[in-house]
Structure 1
């Protein structure tokens, strides 16, 4: 364990991937085999961590439930998170597993390719949930959960009494992992955040637009569905109906982490008392600011 914000009380839990992001970005259009100039950065990342960092920027106090190795990369990462005032003493620090890493290449035409090496998170299993039986027992705030956990662990969480009735906010991490979230379609209190492609994979049929997809997910039994579609209309289907809005147009300069920023902004807005339309508006504006390269 680490010290981190040991005496802080969290108001959101972020469960899932905490790792290093290695991102190569170029301002030119790229195709398979492209060899171009650009910038390569290493930043703290992972879906759960991206949500936590964005939530912190909106004034929330996130605690991280994940695994970080006791290697040099892990010590450096945890030190960086402590400086960001995230609660890190809830992390599982592994003696024998390396710190996970994500690598992506982005061009002017968006994400070209990415590889997520989250094997330590997959191997450590439910050890990351230990704080729920200790200092976080009975936590009643929102819980952000990402699909980088194994299919088995996600299914167990969906049926776990500790999460029954919890304000679960779930994201698939990538289209390739969307089907891992099937058990949450009938969880009594889950809000699912997906893009249009991921919604189609969960519904086993392509969807024409976000409002249609959100309503179809609700019809399958989901408590609440938030569906985005890049620069096109986004929607939130809930027990009282559906709200939708087109994102404001911006020049896209980065894409990795945009969905996580959207999700964190939506959660923070609702915690602050915003209704369905206002929360969706706030999240869309935050994501637009993020992808344009401005600070949020």
Structure 2
């Protein structure tokens, strides 16, 4: 079995997204398109990294049902290894979103199978396949906030993650506060948007730069904060704060943009880019994603 370059831990599910090019009012009924594609924060990051040429593997829970079998096949076909996936008797998780021309209108995430699986998804990091407590995984790990608060607290203190380059993303604003214990990991980089940063720190910031600085003051080792079409920021303990503007584009989709930003930033740093270069490439990748443009890192 080929060893992965990076582990993506968290949600791998079916994204069911309905989109209309017009405006959608409450209780409205409009024409549009509905798609079903592999998704979830961990999966979105893994897919992007695979497209860039890395060999990611996902650690997650997927149902042992027909939808799960389809999802496993689709994930492998995209260049993402499912060799370490925990198969559960619960139904395969799903995410449903409604978008219009202005962006995301509403979404529901059904990640009950992942939450119920708990630490079982981490078994390959402890049983020797990917590491063990005495010789933990030393490469990058992308971790998403769909894990339970208890499991994230466990990860923050676990020797299995002591040597990892830990990259953390929230699943949604409603789950952002779950990340407080793990963001303080000495080798962690936190990726959030300005709203999520405010939920974690307890106060709203006017800019991504202010939000990133507040996260570091609250205990994060390093924080990257995005703010839609406005500048993003990178702040870390003992280093100069950075900010970089977003490229202006016509947004044609929203779901997954933050995950693309994170994946592009991580990829750039694995290829030796400095902090400003990595931030610039991440902003460019996110802009290309929302505009349905090709992007080559």
TM range (shorter): over 0.9
C-alpha deviation, 1:184, in angstroms? 2.2
C-alpha deviation, 1:166, in angstroms? 1.9
Matches within 5 A, 1:56-205: 56-94=50-88, 96-133=89-126, 134-137=128-131, 138-205=136-203
Alpha carbon RMSD of aligned pairs, Å? 0.9
**Alignment match, 2:38:** 44
C-alpha deviation, 1:241, in angstroms? 1.3
Q: Secondary structure at the match of 2:8?
A: strand
Question: Is residue 2:16 matched to residue 1:22?
Answer: yes
- Show structure 2 runs of 5+ residues with no match: none
**Alignment match, 2:253:** 254
Counterpart contact for 1:17–1:66, Cα < 8 Å: yes
C-alpha deviation, 1:139, in angstroms? 2.0
- CA–CA distance in structure 1, aligned partners of residues 4 and 83 of structure 2: 11
User: When the two structures are superposed, what TM-score results if normalisation uses the length of structure 2?
Assistant: 0.96
- CA–CA distance in structure 2, aligned partners of residues 212 and 286 of structure 1: 23
User: When the two structures are superposed, what TM-score results if normalisation uses the length of structure 1?
Assistant: 0.96
- CA–CA distance in structure 1, aligned partners of residues 86 and 99 of structure 2: 31
Find runs of 4+ consecutive structure 1 residues off by over 3 angstroms.
none
**Alignment match, 2:26:** 32
Q: Secondary structure at the match of 1:254?
A: coil
Deviations 1:251-281 (A, max 9, x none): 0000001100110000000000000000000
- CA–CA distance in structure 2, aligned partners of residues 158 and 26 of structure 1: 41
C-alpha deviation, 1:295, in angstroms? 3.3
- CA–CA distance in structure 2, aligned partners of residues 93 and 146 of structure 1: 19
Counterpart contact for 1:234–1:245, Cα < 8 Å: yes
- CA–CA distance in structure 2, aligned partners of residues 88 and 185 of structure 1: 26
Matches within 5 A, 1:3-22: 7-22=1-16
C-alpha deviation, 1:31, in angstroms? 2.3
Counterpart contact for 2:155–2:182, Cα < 8 Å: no
